[in-house]
Amino acid sequence: MEESKKLNFLEEIIEDDLKSGKVSSILTRFPPEPNGYLHLGHAKSLCINFGLAQKYGGKTNLRYDDTNPVKEDVEYVDSIKEDIKWLGFKWEKECYASDYFDQLYEWAEQLIMRGLAYVDDQSQEEISKGRGTVETPGTNSPYRDRTPEENLKLFREMRDGKYAEGEKVLRAKIDMAHPNMFFRDPLLYRIKHASHHRTGDKWCIYPMYDYTHGQCDSIENITHSICTLEFDVHRPLYDWFIQTLGIYPSHQYEFARLNLTYTLMSKRKLLELVQKGYVAGWDDPRMPTLCGVRRRGYTPEALKMFCDKIGVSKRDQLMDIQLLEWCVRQDLNARANRYMVVQDPVKLTLTNWPEGQVEWYDCPLNPAEPEGAGRKVPFTGSLFIDRADFMEDAPHKFFRLKPDGEVRLKYTYIIKCNEVVKDEAGNVVELKCTYDPSTKPGSGEWRSVKGTIHWVSCEHARKIELRNYDRLFTLADMSQVPEDKDYKDFLNPDSLVVGEGYAEPALVEDKSGIAVQFERTGYYIMDKDSNDEKTVFNKTVSLKDSYKPE
Ligand code: ATP
Ligand code: MG
């Protein structure tokens, strides 16, 4: 029997709210700022927001937090939708904070007329100096006591484009000595003479995050507004706006961000890697972006399995990237098609093979489904095997090919190595072997040997390009970059090693659309850079790892 999982703290809150009748159904939202591509951290937020709604029969809105036109772009808006769909989530409404600019503006006039907001002419430096510190109270702005009428006139002039950026701002009038710094007359609007990707040039004043987020939640009747921990200090202000305006009481709850070893998830830094060419783009397979891991061959199923395993906590933690890789392996092991690919070839000749003879084998695409779809694999007397599968002075426990030793060729005969041919420099260039015709699987007689190795027929082999990826950074905890260093100092110079391989012909015809397993080595996925001249495969993850989840 399956053990029922303990509820996480968000599930507890939601179950209480449903039970007490505080809400009759739940509505969550996912609120990305369209200033970059989604990353693995966002996958966690998506799984939580959409997962809770699914579990409790509720819904989730997609809401773009598009209040900073300078950094935002439709390219990001589009990519975000694509990534969410890829994960398999369906949003209820597609919303934009900018849809509510008129309403937010109206509320600002209302606050002004109630004496709760004022136009401040101080510079940014003066404002931040005037805020004081956690220990010392702030000082009132000399403009704080303007009359509502004067403020309204000035605010309308701000809106109408009469002032330059930085000349004036609108602030809430709360308390410059408040113990919570966010209450010391927070900024509500700033002037930005910038075109917005949706509202064009309609506005030259844009609302601040704190003034926007809660009200947008409220307008949409969001019941549970779930965000990351760093916003818990903003929550009282979130509540203050909602209470002061007397609008639908959305509530905010915070969970710990996802951090992963050997990578980082700040959009600003990821953008820098892209812009400065450290990676090939947002979808470079080394990037922790969703489009990057998709190109790498990670599956939505694996990401969801991972998010489920890490759960929801209230304490920041650094998760081991090996757990994510383990999830990828778990999912692909069950589903990926198998093919044989030799990466570092050495020629193997069967001296007793009838010249010109080709045998075609029906091999399963997935050993878990021996009756399922198959592939045809050609076998001849002229093969490539991986150099690492042969050893001349082999230790006792080496069960692959060695002089005078026997090994089984996967899916077919047992062979014996009789002669090692070397070039002048002493490198092994050919292995002369004989096969034992009586050992063909299914031929009745069964003899077993310890080792099995993979191979491809030389004349049928397809040459492919292999992009073997490793971790993007060399430092496990990227929050611990020393002061005198830059995070880019820790970029792994070996994060991409390009090589080539020889593949059985069926590989390049694979239509599964997900990563495939190169037998005995790892999972790989065909890359979009493939064309008529070359076929490119990205390494998703190696086949085995000593890592085991707790
Ligand atoms: P960044 O600091 O990288 O720009 P952000 O938090 O500003 O990230 P948003 O686009 O505002 O990015 O995020 C959308 C949602 O995803 C927010 O609710 C945010 O809290 C959540 N989120 C962002 N990063 C993570 C993370 N690492 N782990 C979990 N949730 C995250
Ligand atoms: Mg943000």
pLDDT, one tens digit per residue, over 238-249 is: 999 999 999 999
Dihedral sign (CA 228, 231, 232, 238): negative
If you average pLDDT over every residue of the chain, what do you get?
96
Taking CA atoms only, the protein residue closest to ligand 1 atom 18 is 227
Q: How far is the CA of 28 from the centre of ligand 1 (A)?
A: 15
For residue 537, pLDDT beyond 50: yes
For residue 373, pLDDT beyond 90: no
pLDDT at 451: 94
Active site residue 267: yes
Mutation pick for ligand 1 pocket among 45, 95, 264 (CB with most ligand atoms within 8 Å)? 45
Nearest Cα residue to 248 out of 257, 239, 256: 239
For residue 51, pLDDT beyond 80: yes
Active site residue 90: no
Contact 374, 454 (CB under 8 A): no
Residue type at 165?
E
Nearest bound ligand to the CA of residue 63:
1
Contact 265, 321 (CB under 8 A): no
Percent of the residues in the chain that have a pLDDT greater than 70, as a whole number: 99
Which region among 203-207, 336-340, 371-375, 524-528 has the lowest average model confidence (pLDDT)? 371-375
What value does the mean pLDDT take over residues 486-501? 97
Taking CA atoms only, the protein residue closest to ligand 1 atom 14 is 32
What is the position in ligand 1's atom list of the atom closest to the CA of 258? Answer: 28
Local structure of 456: helix, strand or coil? strand
Two tokens, residue 395: 């230790």
Confidence band of 151 (pLDDT split at 50, 70, 90): very high
Confidence band of 1 (pLDDT split at 50, 70, 90): very low
Q: How far is the CA of 214 from the centre of ligand 2 (A)?
A: 14
Ligand 1 residue neighbourhood (C-beta within 6 Å): 31-33, 41-42, 44-45, 65, 227-228, 257-258, 265-267
Active-site hit among 81, 131, 153, 257: 257
pLDDT at 142: 98
Tell which wins on pLDDT, 446 or 263: 263
Query: Is this model's pTM higher than 0.85 or not?
Result: yes
Task: Give residue-wise pLDDT tens across range 24-37.
Answer: 999 999 999 999 99
What is the position in ligand 1's atom list of the atom closest to the CA of 267? Answer: 3
Taking CA atoms only, the protein residue closest to ligand 1 atom 25 is 41
pLDDT at 2: 47
Task: Give residue-wise pLDDT tens across range 423-458.
Answer: 999 999 999 999 999 998 887 777 889 999 999 999
Query: What's the burial of 332, exposed, middle or buried (CB within 10 Å: 0-12/13-18/19+)?
Result: buried
Confidence band of 255 (pLDDT split at 50, 70, 90): very high
pLDDT at 272: 97
Mutation pick for ligand 1 pocket among 42, 77, 268, 270 (CB with most ligand atoms within 8 Å)? 42
What value does the mean pLDDT take over residues 277-296? 98
Q: How far is the CA of 290 from the centre of ligand 2 (A)?
A: 17
What value does the mean pLDDT take over residues 375-403? 96
Q: How far is the CA of 66 from the centre of ligand 2 (A)?
A: 10
What value does the mean pLDDT take over residues 517-541? 96
Taking CA atoms only, the protein residue closest to ligand 1 atom 16 is 42
Burial 396-429 (b: 16+ CB within 10 A, else e): eeeebbbeebbbbbbbbbbbbbeeeeeeeeeeee
411: left (phi over 0), alpha (psi -120 to 50) or beta: left
HEC sequence for 289-353: EHHHHHHHCCCHHHHHHHHHHHCCCCCCEEECHHHHHHHHHHHHHHHCCEECEECCEEEEEECCC
Mutation pick for ligand 1 pocket among 228, 271, 315 (CB with most ligand atoms within 8 Å)? 228
Active-site hit among 11, 33, 126, 500: 33
Active site residue 190: no
pLDDT at 4: 65
